[in-house]
């Protein structure tokens, strides 16, 4: 059974910051939209297959419910819960990883 996708407030704030950064650097709404759309659409596969990506190596004492993957050098971390998949954060891979 498919679970619902829920974006955390932090992840939504990070998506907004990514959009603004790309728009500022490239000057192109088209490019900024393309990157954000690709990140958001990438969650479609975890909607159907939540365990498709590997366990998040930066999660301390992870029992497999925290997972992560990359799109356009952005790392999307999520958690599999009983009835939902929660998108926790979206960070550029050049940033220092957070141990959480």
What is the spatial distance between Cα 5 and Cα 23, in angstroms, rounded to a whole number? Answer: 26
For residue 99, tell me if it sits in a domain.
Answer: no
How many structural domains does the chain have?
Answer: 1
Confidence at residue 97, expressed as pLDDT on a 0 to 100 scale: 65
Confidence at residue 47, expressed as pLDDT on a 0 to 100 scale: 85
What is the spatial distance between Cα 11 and Cα 78, in angstroms, rounded to a whole number? Answer: 10
- Tell me if residue 73 falls in helix, strand or coil: coil
Confidence at residue 56, expressed as pLDDT on a 0 to 100 scale: 93
For residue 97, tell me if it sits in a domain.
Answer: no
For residue 98, tell me if it sits in a domain.
Answer: no
Confidence at residue 95, expressed as pLDDT on a 0 to 100 scale: 76
For residue 50, tell me if it sits in a domain.
Answer: yes
Confidence at residue 48, expressed as pLDDT on a 0 to 100 scale: 86
Q: 50, 34, 41, 35: which is closest to 82 by C-alpha?
A: 50
Confidence at residue 25, expressed as pLDDT on a 0 to 100 scale: 94
pLDDT per residue, tens digit, the chain (100 aa), is 568 999 999 999 999 999 999 999 999 999 999 999 999 999 999 988 999 999 998 888 999 999 999 999 999 999 999 999 999 999 998 877 666 5
Q: Are 62 and 55 in contact (CB under 8 A)?
A: yes
Output the domain CATH number for residue 67. Answer: 3.30.2310.20
DSSP-assigned letters across all residues of 9-47: HHHHHHHHHHHHHHHHHH--HHHHHHHHHHHHHHHHHHH
Q: Are 73 and 94 in contact (CB under 8 A)?
A: yes
For residue 59, tell me if it sits in a domain.
Answer: yes
For residue 100, tell me if it sits in a domain.
Answer: no
For residue 76, tell me if it sits in a domain.
Answer: yes
For residue 20, tell me if it sits in a domain.
Answer: yes
Residue 79 has φ and ψ, to the nearest 5°, of: -125, 135
> Which structural domain range is residue 46 located in?
4-92
């Amino acid at each position: 059974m498919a679970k619902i996708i829920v974006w955390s407030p932090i992840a939504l704030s990070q998506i907004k910051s990514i959009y603004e950064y790309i728009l500022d650097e490239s000057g192109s709404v088209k490019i900024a939209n393309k990157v954000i759309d690709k990140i958001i659409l990438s969650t479609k596969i975890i909607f159907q297959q939540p365990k498709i990506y590997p366990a998040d190596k930066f999660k301390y004492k992870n029992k497999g419910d925290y997972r992560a993957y990359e799109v356009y050098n952005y790392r999307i971390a999520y958690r599999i819960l009983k009835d939902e998949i929660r998108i926790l954060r979206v960070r550029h891979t050049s940033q220092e990883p957070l141990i959480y």
